[in-house]
Amino acid sequence: MAPTTSASSSTSTARGTCPRATPGSFWLGELGFPPTAEVDAKVVDLDELDDGLIQLLVTPGRVLVTFQAVLAEAAEPRTAYFNLLADVNRDGQWQAFQGAAGPIEEWAVVNRELALTPGEREEIATEFPSLGPGPDLWFRATLTGQPVEAVDWDGTGLFEEGEIEDYRIPPGTSDDWNFDCEPDLLVMFHDDVGIINFVQTAGVGAPATYQVVAAIGPLGLFADPFAQEIDVIPALDPLGVPAAFPGGITITSLQIHGPPHSKSYEIVVRLEGPGRVETEKCIVEVLHWGRGFPVQVDDDTVIYTGPPQVQSGGTLRARFQVTDANGNPAQGEFFATLGEPPGDKRASHGSGQLDAEGRITIELPVNWPPGVTVLHFSWQGQVFAIAQIEVLP
């Protein structure tokens, strides 16, 4: 059972011996999901979403956790205090006890001071011991505006502002899998479709479910903070039923008209299995000029129709098509360069004659490390950039 002084995750409805914290400008979790309420804070897991825990790794004798704190965009910068209680010996109480090698504190994190910035996320990584076997191991995270004033805190109290969350680890869980987004930067053109999968990079076991919990777009001139210009499947639904693992995320870049530009999105995915939670942040770069965005060179039109991604150390098969003012195939010698700036010693160059249909494929060695570089072409004695190319590891 949960420690006797605990209850479920609590916000303004907490009462009795359970801690009480009124929701305010900062909380544990994602910016788009402020603290949830529940009708009875003494009923475990009755709130809609236990948020804030973005990494959980259960290993023999030790538990590693990472939380995420956020401050509302409209708030002023401020300080908050993070505390963590863990029922290390699984005896139903949060209090220090005598271990085999000396005293063990179950107040695992004591008033860690956080300097929160509006609209930004602060990760809190820590760990605590785990003695077993035994029943469920409960731990409680609190984020408050004032430090907890206590000697051996048992989780109770009244706080003017903040959030309190409870979590449990079932007995016998110790998988240590780790998965990453693949590709770790998905580059898409305008009106394109891409897929993100998850590949195992370490450990054993695998998640049971995965769930898209946030899709965050850019601010600024071409703002799309709520990611309305892309379609994400499975759909963003933090309170819905997670999808069964394995699976992938399908991203569609919607037709958005305007001047050529690019946008970067962060897709936050929660992978969960027994004793293990992992939050992956997959990055999507959308080039809003389309795979066939034309570049005008005097009266001629040049279009790049090749791939947006290539392996470092591989070869980019750069495909182009050139037409004249009447839409007929152009003829002549065409040059291409992969690299930014084009004069860099790592840049690769190629050239050839356009075929009868005004097309050419130029093979360019990729001498660049993983990241994003630029594809240039030269036609009629003029040089232009035509595409961003993602270089994969």
Same-domain pairing of 230 and 254: yes
Range(s) of the domain holding residue 113: 20-169
The pLDDT value recorded for residue 42 is 46
The pLDDT value recorded for residue 14 is 27
Same-domain pairing of 84 and 126: yes
Residue with more model confidence, 131 or 351 = 351
Which of 260, 287, 314 terminates a domain? The answer is 287
Amino acid at 155: G
The number of CA neighbours under 13 Å toward the Cβ of 22 is 6
Is the pLDDT at 379 greater than 90, yes or no? yes
Same-domain pairing of 128 and 225: no
The pLDDT value recorded for residue 287 is 74
Which of 287, 306, 328 terminates a domain? The answer is 287
Computed from CA positions of residues 73, 75, 81, 86, in that sequence, does the dihedral angle turn out positive or negative?
A: negative
The answer to pTM > 0.85 is no
Same-domain pairing of 271 and 253: yes
Residue-wise pLDDT tens digits, 211-263: 998 888 888 777 888 888 899 999 877 677 889 988 899 999 887 766 667 78
82 domain residue, yes or no: yes
Residue-wise pLDDT tens digits, 18-29: 555 555 789 988
Same-domain pairing of 213 and 309: no
Residue with more model confidence, 392 or 115 = 115
Q: Provide the domain count of the chain.
A: 3
- CATH code assigned at 278: 2.60.40.10
The pLDDT value recorded for residue 308 is 82
Which has the closest alpha carbon to 48: 99, 6, 13, 100? 13
Number of Cβ within 10 Å of residue 386's Cβ equals: 20
Query: Most confidently modeled of 154-163, 171-180, 284-293?
Result: 154-163
Angle at 220 between CA 266 and CA 124, to 5 degrees: 40
Percent of residues, the chain, with pLDDT higher than 90? 30
Query: Most confidently modeled of 13-17, 74-78, 192-196?
Result: 74-78
Same-domain pairing of 112 and 219: no
5 domain residue, yes or no: no
Which of 259, 287, 315 terminates a domain? The answer is 287
Same-domain pairing of 151 and 191: no
9 domain residue, yes or no: no
Is the pLDDT at 340 greater than 70, yes or no? yes
